[in-house]
């Protein structure tokens, strides 16, 4: 619309790029032909440069050469080893409490059942699972299933889809009947960052355990799971952790619960001495007992590469850039005429902002489709949200401006 304004934003972005200590990382991703601006790193991270070569090397030199010996030589320990890499780079958790295995959904089920069963065994009156209406669908569905299976009750917090679950809302429902509180650290729709340490502490004061879904915060927001006293957490690795489509998820279980809480999918790979093929299930020691079947080794190859990159960049620097990126996007959208009818449906204050912001307008489903054809890739969330997920390692400030100028060009 106004060239003057557009030029200002590009100049501002160029300054921000020049001063960005993580700028060099934007070149460390595989080429994506036709890409103009990628605003969906919160849904599917881009492949780190070298991923294709690393996969080829794995096939030729490990799978192809070691063959079945690979299990004994290395792969058997990958769930715990890769879990420790995730814990160190992204979770603020000491080794030995995290595994990589299964999908987020399956791990959610395993962890929620483990926590709920442990609580009911201690105190049969603790039959409630607290969760919120705007949590990611899979979390709600898994909780419905666990409640039905165990005769438990779901207690719903009505979350505002433009913000998220507040500590006051949790305080209203948590009590002596609460077994588990299940919440997302960063809301998938609004990007609201929950106060995980305070909510965890509050739940504990009432004797409840907390299961955090970290899908939208892992690799984006710094965490200190051990220090916060978190009981359990799960998250996916294909969003900000760039593990690739369907890469396996991670689960964290604080060491104080090991050997006490037991997950329900008793498979041979989580058994003590699996190759004895012995009668009866006896859980392996420590975090290994969270594993059920044969670990998805090939799916961990890109993730292990990308975790090296996150560790090099440092999660604090990632967070600082993340806030600067969403702040720039926020200011650009705010500068648009109110007549365009675009609202921002995300938290304004940085203390409650995760890695993405969502803007709303009635026709964003159509706009999103047209943007994808042009290589500008946000995503659409029903009913009217356009999510701008700005992955700090792969996104430049200039890309934010260019992409938003294209969004603006579709609004009349």
Ligand X SMILES: *Cc1c(COP(=O)(O)O)cnc(C)c1O
Residues forming the site for ligand X (CB under 6 A): 103-105, 136, 138-139, 184, 188, 213, 215-216, 236, 249
Question: Which is closer to ligand X, CB of 215 or CB of 301?
Answer: 215
> Are 403 and 11 spatial neighbours (Cβ–Cβ below 8 Å)?
no
Active site residue 110: no
Question: Which is closer to ligand X, CB of 131 or CB of 367?
Answer: 131
CB of 186 to ligand X, least distance (A): 8
In degrees, rounded to 5, the angle at the alpha carbon of residue 381 between the alpha carbons of residues 168 and 341 is: 90
Q: What are the tokens at 72?
A: 């004994």
- Considering the candidates 387, 397, 406, 408, report the single residue annotated as catalytic: 387
- Considering the candidates 38, 109, 238, 240, report the single residue annotated as catalytic: 238
Backbone torsions φ then ψ of 179, nearest 5 degrees: -90, -55
d(C-alpha 276, C-alpha 312), whole Å: 41
Active site residue 213: yes
Backbone torsions φ then ψ of 212, nearest 5 degrees: -100, 135
CB of 137 to ligand X, least distance (A): 8
- Considering the candidates 132, 213, 231, 379, report the single residue annotated as catalytic: 213
CB neighbours of residue 192 within 10 Å: 27
d(C-alpha 87, C-alpha 94), whole Å: 7
Question: Which is closer to ligand X, CB of 127 or CB of 169?
Answer: 169
* Chain Cα centroid distance, residue 277: 36
- Considering the candidates 136, 188, 364, 397, report the single residue annotated as catalytic: 136
d(C-alpha 301, C-alpha 285), whole Å: 25
Active site residue 126: no
Q: What are the tokens at 225?
A: 């799971």
Question: Which is closer to ligand X, CB of 141 or CB of 281?
Answer: 141
Q: What are the tokens at 196?
A: 């995980």
Active site residue 387: yes
The closest alpha carbon to 105, from 128, 78, 136, 84, belongs to 136
d(C-alpha 115, C-alpha 136), whole Å: 19
> Are 45 and 243 spatial neighbours (Cβ–Cβ below 8 Å)?
yes
Question: Which is closer to ligand X, CB of 16 or CB of 143?
Answer: 143
Residue position matching structure tokens 């500590």? 167
**CA distances from residue 257 to 201, 284, 289 in whole angstroms, order as listed:** 17, 14, 12
Active site residue 239: yes
Question: Which is closer to ligand X, CB of 102 or CB of 231?
Answer: 102
d(C-alpha 269, C-alpha 256), whole Å: 22
Residue position matching structure tokens 């003057």? 4
Cite the active site residues: 136, 213, 238-239, 387
């Amino acid at each position: 619309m106004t060239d003057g304004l557009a030029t200002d934003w590009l100049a501002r972005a160029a300054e921000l790029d020049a001063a960005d200590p993580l700028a060099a990382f934007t070149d460390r991703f595989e080429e994506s032909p036709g890409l103009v601006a990628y605003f969906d790193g919160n849904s599917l991270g881009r492949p780190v440069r070298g991923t294709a070569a690393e996969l080829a090397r794995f096939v030729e030199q490990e799978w192809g050469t070691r063959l079945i010996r690979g299990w004994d030589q290395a792969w058997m320990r990958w769930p715990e080893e890769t879990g420790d890499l995730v814990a160190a780079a992204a979770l603020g958790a000491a080794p030995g409490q995290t595994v990589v295995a299964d999908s987020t959904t399956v791990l959610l089920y395993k962890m929620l059942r483990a926590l709920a069963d442990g609580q009911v065994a201690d105190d049969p009156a603790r039959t409630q699972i607290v969760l919120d209406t705007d949590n990611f669908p899979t979390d709600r569905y898994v909780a419905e299933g666990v409640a039905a299976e165990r005769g438990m009750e779901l207690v719903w917090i009505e979350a505002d889809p433009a913000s998220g679950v507040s500590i006051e809302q949790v305080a209203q429902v948590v009590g002596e009947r609460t077994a588990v509180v299940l919440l997302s650290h960063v809301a998938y729709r609004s990007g609201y960052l929950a106060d995980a340490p305070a909510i965890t502490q509050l739940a504990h004061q009432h004797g409840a355990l907390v299961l955090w879904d970290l899908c939208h915060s892992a690799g984006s927001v710094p965490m200190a799971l051990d220090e916060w006293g978190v009981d359990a957490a799960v998250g996916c690795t294909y969003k900000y952790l760039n593990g690739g489509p369907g890469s396996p998820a991670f689960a964290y279980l604080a060491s104080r619960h090991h050997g006490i809480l037991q997950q329900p999918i008793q498979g041979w790979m989580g058994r003590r001495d699996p190759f004895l093929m012995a009668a009866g299930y006896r859980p392996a020691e420590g975090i290994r007992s969270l594993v059920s079947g044969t670990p998805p080794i090939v799916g961990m190859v890109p993730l292990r590469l990308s975790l090296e990159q996150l560790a090099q960049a440092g999660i604090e620097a990632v967070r600082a850039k993340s806030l600067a990126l969403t702040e720039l996007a926020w200011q650009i959208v705010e500068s648009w005429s109110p007549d365009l009818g675009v609202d921002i449906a995300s938290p304004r204050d940085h203390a409650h902002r995760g890695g993405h912001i969502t803007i709303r307008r009635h026709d964003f489903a159509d706009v999103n489709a047209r943007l994808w054809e042009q290589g500008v890739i946000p995503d659409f969330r029903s009913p009217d949200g356009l999510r701008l997920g700005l992955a700090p390692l792969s996104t430049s400030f200039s890309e934010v401006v260019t992409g938003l100028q294209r969004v603006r060009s579709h609004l009349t």
